[in-house]
Amino acid sequence: MTAATGTPIATTVRAPSRRRHGDTVFHGIVVVAAGFVLVLIAAIAVFLIAQAVPAIDKVGWRFFTEETWFPDAEPARFGIAALAFGTVLSSALALAMAVPVALGCALFLTELAPRRLGRYVGYLLDLLAAVPSVVYGLWGVFVLVPALVPVQRGIDGAVGGVVPVFDSRNGVYGRSIFAASVVLAIMVLPIVAALAREVFRQVPRAHREAAFALGATRWEVIKLAVLPYGRSGIVGAIMLGFGRALGETIAVALVLAASFSIDIHIFEPGGNTIAANIATKFGEAGQTGRNALIASGLVLFAITLLVNVIARGIVYRSAVAAEGKP
């Protein structure tokens, strides 16, 4: 490039030889923040292990198979088998009930509802996540459990003889794993729905318009353009909801009639979870009892970490598949 007089003008831009001071400070802050999270997780794990070892030493491997809970007796007898079973079963049932409704709500709000209606209904749906757990528990005990009794009786009468899960052997219904799962489903629903809604909103408009241009119906657009694009985000939302259900405490403690047995009959009163057992037993526990409860918390910690690792793996594989990488 030359000036009007023909004299060449230098156009090279000198690259900065070092980072700006603000970039260096910001880099240090985010590195410290990320490292702090790892240190915090490690500190929690070390505390749980240190407190759990004395209790596990008392019963050995029976801690993972025993169904009773008498840690302060002589000799001590306690185990995590029934608690872990109730925790996983109630959370899985909650997801089975909540995920279809949550995804349906998210699709309606993003794909079918008018923009203004979708925004306001979305606000109302998000408000469910702001309700305290103890309120859900009280509502579950005094309103939901009595309302579910005729529902359970009807399901038992229709399919209980064929599907043992729905069979109440003594004809008694009430504060059961099923009732706790319904409460958990209501608590998980706004989390899954909110995340799925944001995932569906990120689908490029060009994907939808291309599907419509090819003659696809509204359902085919959702099936072929929206759901495949948001697959990894949907999996992440579901796993986050699963983690929320695993750790719920007060609501489950209020709804369940605590028992320590492995029973697949979800309509019968009874059942227990790790978090609910910690909440109800910690105040009256002795030294061994507290160590045993912390040991059960260690198991819940491990289950939650495992769920998150599996979720990250599924999300990564879904993202790779969506990008078409080998």
DSSP3 helix / strand / coil % (the chain, rounded to 5): 75, 0, 25
What is the share, in percent, of the chain residues with pLDDT greater than 70? 91
pTM score, two decimals?
Answer: 0.84
Q: Is residue 96 predicted with pLDDT exceeding 90?
A: yes
Q: What is the pLDDT of residue 52?
A: 92
Find all residues with CB under 8 Å of 238, minimum gap 6, and list them: 95, 99, 192, 311
User: Which sign, positive or negative, has the C-alpha torsion 179, 184, 190, 195?
Assistant: negative
Enter the DSSP assignment of 2.
B
Fold of 80-323: MetI-like fold (1.10.3720)
- When pLDDT is averaged across residues 238-263 and rounded to a whole number, the result is 86
Q: What is the pLDDT of residue 20?
A: 75
> Could you tell me which of 196, 182, 186, 185 has the C-alpha nearest to residue 108?
196
C-beta neighbour count of 191 within 10 angstroms: 21
Per domain, the residue ranges of the chain are: 80-323
Distance CA 254, CA 260 (A): 16
Q: 2-52: per-residue pLDDT in tens?
A: 545 555 555 555 545 455 777 888 888 999 999 999 999 999 999 999 999
Q: What is the pLDDT of residue 319?
A: 66
Confidence of residue 89 (pLDDT cuts 50, 70, 90): very high
Confidence of residue 120 (pLDDT cuts 50, 70, 90): confident
